Amino acid sequence: MEIMKEKEIIEKYNYLDDDNVIFMNDGYCPLDEDGYPTKMDIQLTEKYRPWRYQVYMYKLLMDFIKIDSEKSKEKTILDVGCGRAGGLSFYQDYYQFKSLHGVDLNPEHKRVAQTHTDIEVHTSSATSLPFNSKSFDIITCVESSPYYHPFESYVSEIKRILKPGGIYVRAERYIQTPDYFLNDDFIQVKYIDINHNSRISCSISKWTTLQSSEKMSRVLFGDEEEYIENRTTYNVTSYIKKTLD
């Protein structure tokens, strides 16, 4: 992926034309054994129904690391690159986290987040995070870490603010090479390929999001083409920070 400056990243993601657009990810479409779209076991409120598959991505992350509403009670969570805080809002409404925080480079995303949630979103670079050391039990990141440069600095920040034994889980459309989390500080726990699930999500979501944002619909259409042309690979990976600190 081309290395972009922070100003360029902000400009690139200031394309949305409606504050009702609270999710920016490609989404995850669960498939049955015959490969047909199905649903996750969750009742979505009116707020989330237009963004079903985008919500499912965040539900997938929690299922992936085996966090349910009960287990979330004593956990602190941070979403890095949280965008317009749709995922954070979902975490708040469907789980019982002890505290929730988000961070995003784009101040416009923070403004929109404040229109639909009271969760604190910090405006900051991911390579210099505004949190105390050992602050979080769980850190999630969806479709943004390939933009973090230098990536080694991002890994160091995740190590710093994650508690020993804490979990970092990311969902990315690109494979970070080399994998800087495969070091003496982290253990990779699980990896899954969801390329087909996200391609199907884009195929469906480009139509369901059309009423909310023509621009978002066009982005999903373009992302679908990347899947079809094998120009991207979507995966979910989780890591545990080693307890020696």
Going along the chain from its start, the domains and CATH numbers come out as 6-134+144-173 (3.40.50.150)
- Residue 211 pLDDT greater than 80, yes or no: no
Between 233 and 67, the higher pLDDT residue: 67
Task: At 78, list the tokens.
Answer: 């941070």
Q: Which residue has the tokens 């004593």?
A: 74
Which among 152, 153, 193 has a CA at the least distance from the CA of 175? 193
Q: Residue 181: which pLDDT band, with cuts at 50, 70 and 90?
A: confident
pLDDT at 13: 61
Using one digit for the tens of pLDDT, what is the confidence trace for 119-155?
Answer: 999 999 999 999 999 999 999 999 988 888 888 999 9
pTM: 0.92
How high does pLDDT run on average in the chain? 90
Using only the alpha carbons of the chain, give its radius of gyration.
Answer: 17
Which residues partner with 102 through β-bridges? 79, 121
Task: At 4, list the tokens.
Answer: 């972009």
